[in-house]
Amino acid sequence: MSEKKKLKAGMKIGIAAAAALAAAAVVLGGIKLHRMHLRDQSGILLAFDDYSAESWEAHFDLFEQYDAKVTFFINASEPVEFCYKAQEQGHEIGFHTMSHVKLPDCTDEQVYQEAIAPIGMFREKGIEMTSFAYPYGNYNDRLNEMLLEHYNIVRGAWECQLNLKHNLRHGFVEAMPIDNGYFETQEAFETRVTEVLNELKKNKGVVACMYSHAIGDGEWSIDEEKLEFLLKKAEELGLKFYTFRELQDL
């Protein structure tokens, strides 16, 4: 091959390599931008407490419609069929004690049996629980210290707080109740939820925890109209639904 041909061949290889590098830079840049978007994207930690598997499972399609991942804090001594179905849908299983006791009234041994010992049984059967919600929202510093040795997140039940996402990797967090009993009308619910979601929209990388119990018309439930309003409004504002575990893994 002549020097001239060698030079042309080298130029072609160089151009191809440069093009490949440029393409790789675009891909990596896109990945970086996507990660930045996820980091900055605010959202909601939506949870359901106790154990209302029938009503929860009946709304899996609704959650999927709005790409909403949910954390179910269950009362049980070991995994039930619902746990596996929920995980298959991308939801999280958290814990809420075996028998919904008021933990501040319990001895350390009782706390261990109710809230800590079952972790091993769930783990053996394929459910890794890293999030815990206090029954009745009752807690104290002693309980936080004990439980945070075994869970990454422990959750209260009485306040609406905006939290930076990276602060949700470990520690205590409050949550806003959204049961029917807390709102006299649908309008009152929509007004309050809209206020909270608009605050989330104004800030980058923050989340608010909200929780209910069953899905239905009861006082300690959220009815379908309220639930769908929350899901739809969050979608309109570009807010994401996170699980507690998802934020722990960021």
Nearest Cα to 156, choosing from 177, 140, 133?
133
pLDDT, position 61: 98
Taking only the tens place, the pLDDT of each residue in 169-199 is 999 999 999 999 999 999 999 999 999 999 9
At residue 32, the pLDDT reads 40
> What confidence tens digit (pLDDT) does each residue in 24-81 have?
444 444 434 334 445 689 999 999 999 999 999 999 999 999 999 999 999 999 999 9
Which of the four pLDDT bands, split at 50, 70 and 90, describes residue 234?
very high
Alpha helices in 41-153 (DSSP H): 53-57, 60-65, 81-88, 108-111, 118-124, 141-147
For range 106-128, the mean pLDDT:
97
Q: Are 59 and 74 in contact (CB under 8 A)?
A: no
Please choose, from the candidates 152, 156, 157, 158, the residue with its C-alpha nearest in 3D space to the C-alpha of residue 171: 152
pTM assigned to the model: 0.85
Mean pLDDT of 137-156: 98
Q: Give me the mean pLDDT over the 99-114 stretch.
A: 97
> How does pLDDT run across 206-218, given as a tens digit for each residue?
999 999 999 999 9
Read off the DSSP letter of residue 113: I
CB count, 10 Å around CB of 183? 18
